[in-house]
Each structure stands twice: as structure tokens, then as C-alpha cells.
Structure 1
Amino acid sequence: MLIGNLDGMTVFARVVEEQSFSGAARKLGMSKSAVSKHVTKLEDNLGIRLLNRTTRRLSLTDAGATFYQHCARVVEEIETAEHALTDLRGTPRGTLRISAPLTFGQRYMPDLLAEFMGMYPGLHIDMHLADHMVDLVAEGFDMAIRITRLKDSSLIARKLAEFNAYVVASPDYLAEHGEPQHPSELVGHKTLAYTNLASPNVWDFEGPDGPINVRVNPVISCNNGEFTSIAAMRGLGIAREPEFIVAEALHKGKLVEILKPFNSPARGGIYAVYPERRHLPTKVRIFIDYLVEKFRGGLCNFHKSLYSGD
């Protein structure tokens, strides 16, 4: 009965975490009916109802809530034991769930994963791209790429690279409207603002005489940096973009960096973050080590490696 209950406990814990039989079935690679049978058998063996089932939702009984706390610990111990065995084999297997920002993920992750998965063909990658910060623990992610000024949190972080913000415009825009020589001249130019910032219409610079803050009046505002960079390439205005978004366009001459003597302060860093665990799974550790190596030398060298064949 113990072995059967262990299977049932694993399925039950996943049902609670996913809040549905169908969600648990997807995570476990089982049919919905098989998940339901495991939970029903577990309840029969224990002689107590763990879940209240309706056509619309599931809810834990009092006994189910208590039992889940113990199940979660047991399942974690089982996973830890499995990860330890994987460590002994030295070969990562299973599914690696990664969250990354939309534009960064689209631009860089396919190239990074192509090489990595060639090294470790036993891995399956489940990639989630979104500009909002996901809850790694609640949503079941192994790790995430975060591009930010990292704040204190319960997550463990390894810094991959720093990134700067560049003020850019297309050659056509500069030919038509002229190139500003000082940040204060931006008020007379068409600008493009990225709105996922605390103050998207205030651009800060470091000049020879100290900090400079300029309030721009954008002709276009958008919550996606890829969009504003493309708009800048189309000659619609001047944009302030992070290095990782405009590096290729600068390399190909589609955009020109301006106001170089007034460099924008460093915008933050690119981090690999993961939940604090007693035992870091091999698949996570190896992938983060791989990212650290790929970004060694900073974003500039990484970009050169990507665009060297152009």
C-alpha cells in the first residue's frame, strides 16, 4: 500500500498545486482520468475525503489541507533523491522550465539553446516568454532570466552581464532632423518612450558636469522595447533602448548611437535567478554555468559572437 500511496501522494500534490485535474495531468504527462483514479484510490486507502469536487472548481477539505502539507514535503524529498542520482550520473534529464523577458528570449534564447541542447539532448526545454515577472515557485519554473536592477528577494541570483541604455536614431531621421548635441535638445525632437519604467518620459544622463534629467514629449509610447526600436529604425523618432535590444541594429547600421558624451547610467544587469533550494537540480546548475560562460566578457563580446558571420 505504501508504494501505491506514494504515487497517489505525488498526483494529489500536483492537483492541489495546479488547482485542477487537467492541469495536473499536463504536468505529469498523464490522462485526466488517470489522475482522478489516483486521487480516488488514495482517498479510499486513507478512508477520508481530501478534495471537494464540483463542476467548476476543486477545494481542499480540512483533512486534505493537512495531508497536502505532508505530501509536499514527501514529494520534495523524492525529487531531491532523484536529483542526487542525476548528479551522480552527471547528465541532466527531464524538463527545464525557464522564464525570460519577451524580446531577450526571442533574440537570444534560440541561439543559446541550440548549442546547449546539442550538448545535452536528453533535456526538454519549456520556455515561457513574458515581460512581467512570474512567480517561480507558484508557477513551477526552475529558473528565470531577469533584466533589471535586482532587488532583495527570496531568489538566488547569478549575474550574467551588465547592460547600458543607448540613445539611438535612424540615419534617415538624423539626416532630416539633425543630430542633437546635448540632451536638452531632445525636447525639440520626436521621441519614442518605453512605458515599462517608473518614469518613461524622464531620460537621465551622466554629463561632464554631473547628472542631467530631460523630460521628453514622446510621439509614440509603448510597453515593448522591440516595438520602439523598430519604430526608431523606421525613422519615427529617437529612442532610448537597452544594449541587448539595439546591438544588432547598431552593428548593421540601421541605428546610430547619439549623445555619446552623455552616456546614460547603467540600467542594471542580466541575471539568472532560481528558487532557494537545499539541492539545486543538475539541469539548472549546468544551464546557469553555461550562460555564465557564454556571457563572460560582457554583452559586447557576446554580441560579436552572434553577429560575426554577418
Structure 2
Amino acid sequence: MAASELAIIILAIVGFGILAPAISYAQQRAEGKSEEIICHNSIAFRSLSTVNFAGQDVKVAPRLCKTIEKDVTGSRGEIKDEIAYKMARCWWMFNEGRHEKVLDNAADILQFLGWSSTDKPCFLCYDLKIDEKEIAEPSQQSFIPAEELFEYMSKKEHRQLKDWKYLDYIQYYGGPGELGILAKIEPQKHYGVVFLPRTTDRGEFLNWADTVIAGTGVVAGSGALGVASVVGAGACFATIGCGVAVVIGGATAAASAFYIGAHQLNEIQAFFDQDRPLSSVILTDLKNVEARCQKDLSGE
């Protein structure tokens, strides 16, 4: 073992010895508080617990994130609001993309978040069960279409942030982010709210979306880069075809969002295997991500 490697290990052990009481105290203080706060604070604490030695960063604070199970009940509007809020909370738990502003490349971002640069990781923030027998009112539909939820998030103000719509919050409140809705919402079904970290420095969203959607057998529409737009169910700006709405723009041209009607998806799994030029929060059927996304990052 090289002397520099040994020094790094020693420094990490010493550093953790100093920080461990603080971590333990923070965990004790967090008892009885929400797991969301514990996760958020552990991610934020990592940025304060990095020791640079011999040109290498040593992280001495673990991630403390676990999947949260929740039943969603209420009226159609209340269900939409709770899903929107949980997607925003998932983004908040992973520091609102703020690391994108200070880290230069995807490898550094993955390291900061505790993943390898060879991974295409995902974390299941929430397992949401729609615990209602029907969600038909006030329309005649027995489900909430993806585009309806997407439109809601583009217009509804964040319940904790005045003048910030849910979509805008994820796109650029902290750092550039992406929102994706990949399923319609049906009664008595489970849905996953997933955080996907950025994995590549190459490409732009439009090329990425085309690649992903073409790979799943789904057709795509898109907005113009740098222009905020919502493509409704009857409109299409096609790169491959019609059926997917994409929002590009906001305060940064990098931010984006989209929805895909669930009936158009043949192999949603392929979506998660692509390189990602932006970190994102995705809503999809739980069965699409249950086996592939991590549920417990505690101690890592």
C-alpha cells in the first residue's frame, strides 16, 4: 500500500472519529422527525465533511436515506397535490440540485452523492399507494392522466414556497433539474417517486429524450430549447412523432421536464439505462423501479 493511500485511510478514520459524535447527536436530535429531514440533512452534511488529501476527496459522513411508504387519499385535487409535493420533497432531499452549481462534471456529482461514476443509479424516495376506490370526480375519467398531473405541477404553487410553481422549483430553484411523469394515476395502485442523478456531461435533453423514447418504442414531441412551453394533449412539436410533452427552459436552458402517457410505454425500463445529462425526479409505476432502484442508503 502506498504511503499516500495509507495517509488517506488514517485521515478518514481520524476525521470520522471527530465527526461521529456530531453525526450521532444529529441522529438523536432527529428522532421523531421526518425521514425526509434526516435524508436531506445527511446529504447536505456530506458537503461539509469532505477532506481533501493528496488530491483526493474523502467523504466521512454517511447517507441516511430510506424509502418512505405513504398512502395517498382524498379528492382528485388532493391526490394531485400530494403527489406533486412528494416529488418536490424528493428533489429537496437530494439538495435541490445545488451541487450542480459548484461541481464541474457528472463524476464529481455522483461521488458527492455517494455513487460510482460507472453506475446509473436511482433511489426510490417514496412508495405511494393511491388508497382510494375511485378518483373520478370532477371529470368522468377514473384515473389522472399523466398530462393532467404535469399541467397541475406547471401551474400549482409549491405549498411551502410562495410564487414558486412545482415545475419551476424542480427545474431551477436550486440547481438545474428535470421533472418526468411516466404513468397515469389509478386507484389502488402503487407509484414510485424516484431520484435519478446526472451521469454524463455529454448531450442535451432533446437528444437524450429522443434516444430514450425511441429505445422504448415511444414517440416524442418537444419544445424549443430555451423556450418554456407545455405541449398539450392535442398539440405536437415533433422530433420523432407526437405523444410526449416536453418543457424546456425556465431560468436555465438546461432545465427540462416531460410527461409520457402510460399507455404509450412498451419498455419503461430502458429509460433508466440511458446516460442522464441532468439530475431528475421521476414518477412511474412502482413495478418499473422496485427491483432496480435502491431503497436504503443508510450508512453508505
Query: What TM-score comes out, normalization by structure 2 length?
Result: 0.24
User: For the pair shown, which has the larger CA radius of gyration, 1 or 2?
Assistant: 1
Greater share of strand: 1
Greater share of helix: 1
Query: What TM-score comes out, normalization by structure 1 length?
Result: 0.23
